Structure 1
Amino acid sequence: MKPTASDIQFYKTLIFFNALIPLLIMLWDFAHGQIGVNPVELSIRTFGVLTLIFLLLTLCVTPMRKLFGWGFLIKYRRMLGLFAFFYGCLHLLTYMGFDRSWSISGTVADVIKRPFIAVGMVSFLLLIPLAVTSADKMLRRIGAKRWLKLHKLIYLIAIGGVVHFYMIVKSDVFWPVVFAVALSVLFGYRIYSAYQKARG
């Protein structure tokens, strides 16, 4: 059954409020002094993980549409991608504000000094044009072909995000590996799908 306009709006609202729940929980814990002994590190790490989660959810839309015929999911892909950008912004702002004290020179020096910061920064910068061109108006302005090519950057961004996460942790690499496996499955599906299309 094809969802109606009211159904789509309802689910968009549901996604919106659910996507904000992690942030609201963090703010609640922070207000009540329950965010741990190192709130800055916890906040930076949490926002980074949420960015990866929403990137992977965005990449899940196409396989789910094609495998299960859930074409309506395309209506929510933009929102998921924008939440990836939103949490990416919080990740960067928390790092710059609390770890670097809003020092541009200190941030640049850190990027040069620590490779995992550089990987994360490049990934975030690549995410900006995707967020800026997410609106239908921008799609019409730059053309569908250029828009599609530009938005393929999400693959590189997701890889960079996983590598960034892996490089941060020192010993417990379980969660970075989980993200890497999930991303590999999503890429594997796309490669297989492209191969089948070429054969056809």
Structure 2
Amino acid sequence: MDRAWWWGVFLGCALPLLALVLWAATGDLGANPIETVVRHLGDWALRLLILTLALTPLRHLTGSSRPVRYRRMIGLWAFAYVCLHVLAYVVVDIGLHLPTLIDDLTKRPYIMVGMAGVLTLIPLAATSTKGMIKRLGGRRWQRLHQLVYAAGILGAVHYLLMVKADITEPLVYIGLLVLLYGIRVGRWVAR
């Protein structure tokens, strides 16, 4: 049964990427295909990151530890979507043009914030294995992985700053993060 859950979670995380590949193969990426690809990958990176943050509160609310078993996989999928999001921007959108990248990093706050979020996720992905937990020690590993809270905030703020008109969706993500962080703080205070 656990294998079926594992494959279900894996395929659930892979579906947005598979959908993007299908849209590209059928020419259904819309009027601005590059923007569609970059945004789709970024949206799913943030959604999966928020999902990883929701799993521990979900465990506390339901009493079931099953969702937490898949947190690492979902977190690594979130990181994969982040990497693809950045690659789509750097390679496809700006064509590996270094002056444009430097200009964007210095003049566009949403790109600075987004890159800061990416930098917070790199050590989390690099230390996600059981071997790294042993090497770092449980307490240091847990402290390091608290960077996920900063990554969530940076991702949501990146999205909020990027949107030009309707900020409803970024505000929903920020609201979810406030709720999830509030639950954690409330449990910490209660202890």
Residue 157 of structure 1 pairs with residue 144 of structure 2: no
Residue 113 of structure 1 pairs with residue 79 of structure 2: no
Deviations 1:164-186 (A, max 9, x none): 00001112001001101111110
Unaligned runs of 5+ in 2: none
- What residue identity is the alignment partner of 2:134? R
Counterpart for residue 52 of structure 1: 46
Deviations 1:11-42 (A, max 9, x none): 11111112111111111111111110101111
What is the TM-score with the length of structure 1 in the denominator? Answer: 0.93
Counterpart for residue 80 of structure 1: 74
Q: Distance in 1 between matches of 2:28 and 2:147?
A: 38
- What residue identity is the alignment partner of 2:28? Q
Q: Distance in 2 between matches of 1:104 and 1:196?
A: 50
Q: CA deviation at 1:103?
A: 2.5
User: 144, 152, 167: which is aligned to 1:173?
Assistant: 167
Matches within 5 A, 1:118-137: 118-137=112-131
| Matched-pair identity in % | 39
Q: CA deviation at 1:119?
A: 0.2
Q: Distance in 1 between matches of 2:15 and 2:65?
A: 26
SS across alignment from 1:125:
helix
Counterpart for residue 145 of structure 1: 139
Q: Distance in 2 between matches of 1:104 and 1:93?
A: 13
User: 98, 111, 114: which is aligned to 1:104?
Assistant: 98
SS across alignment from 1:34:
coil
- Check whether the contact 1:8–1:75 (CA below 8 A) recurs between aligned residues: no
Deviant stretches of 4+, over 2 Å: 103-106
Deviations 1:79-111 (A, max 9, x none): 010011010011000000112211334312211
Counterpart for residue 84 of structure 2: 90
Residue 194 of structure 1 pairs with residue 188 of structure 2: yes
Q: Distance in 1 between matches of 2:40 and 2:24?
A: 13
Count of residue correspondences = 191
SS across alignment from 2:69:
helix
What is the TM-score with the length of structure 2 in the denominator? Answer: 0.97
